[in-house]
Homo-oligomer: A and B are copies of this chain.
Amino acid sequence: MNRQATNGGHADGTVGKALDVMDRVAAKGRPARFAELLAESDHPKATLYRLLQTLTSQGMLIYDETRQTYAPGLRLVRLAHAAWQQSSLAPIARPFVDALSKQVGETIHLAQMDQGQVLYVDKRNARRPVEMFSEAGKIGPGYCTGVGKAMLAFLPPDDREKAVNMQSFFAHTSRTLTTPEALTQELAAIRAAGISFDREEHEQGIICIAAPILSSARRVMGGLSITASTQRNTLDGLARLRPALTETAHKIAGAAENWQFPD
């Protein structure tokens, strides 16, 4: 057997299998029955059964006896709190994101790359107060969002190619880029421009301008975007926010690089 180095694919060891199952349950988006999971899984009945039992006994899953369904457990929420605090840009970026939010008055997203997808780690909404986990922790596609493209564009060539091929292209709107070639070309343009736009590629009527957050060594640390609806703003209007956006991105990068956990 081989042992995956950087993950991306799946399953090394029992732990890997168990976590695969976790992912599957989480991905369902609602409590799942044993049979459902069995159908999608390539594990034999008994194996899957035992994995579910183990995960449940560990609090990683919650089993609803009356409905006979499995759902992700609260232990995850606990663990994620630590992850968000320690490993995401959000805590460090907060003051800068706050400031940007106040300044531009539009919706702000702070995101990081996770397995070729966009993982939103923080958000400021123009109107309603922050929407907790329902936004932080949410994932989005890499190929048709502003932050996604901004981050992909500045990945090292190999990683970028790998990530591009990991995308599962779907035409959310008529403007969505739906081929690796189109995306690759767009990414080159973004690299040249230093900034990316979402021209209603993900959702009709939603546009955004996004910038990568790059370390001094030009490593992609995350992405930052300003989103608006076509009713309230235009691409040109967003383009005018570019200085504020990139400046904030730089500040975040600087803060993140200098950050050391207090001894």
Contact = CB atoms under 8 A, between A and B. Distances in A.
A74 B83 contact: yes
A77 B15 contact: no
Nearest to A80: B80
A5 to B, nearest CB: 7
Contacts of A82: 25-27, 29, 72, 76
A78 B6 contact: no
A31 B87 CA distance: 9
Contact of A57 (B6, B79, B119): B6
Interface of A: 3-7, 12-16, 18-19, 22-23, 25-27, 29-31, 51, 54-55, 57-60, 62, 71-88, 90-91, 112, 114-115, 119, 121-122, 129-130, 132-134, 136-139, 261-262
Nearest to A51: B15
A27 B23 CA distance: 23
Contacts of A58: 7, 12, 15-16, 19
Contact of A132 (B25, B114, B132): B132
A57 B5 contact: yes
A115 B57 CA distance: 12
A84 B137 contact: yes
21 contacts: A12-B58, A14-B14, A22-B79, A23-B79, A26-B82, A59-B115, A71-B83, A72-B79, A74-B88, A76-B79, A76-B80, A77-B136, A80-B137, A81-B133, A81-B136, A81-B137, A122-B132, A129-B129, A133-B133, A133-B136, A133-B137
Given A58-B7, A74-B88, A78-B139, A26 B83 contact: yes
Given A16-B58, A31-B261, A26 B134 contact: no
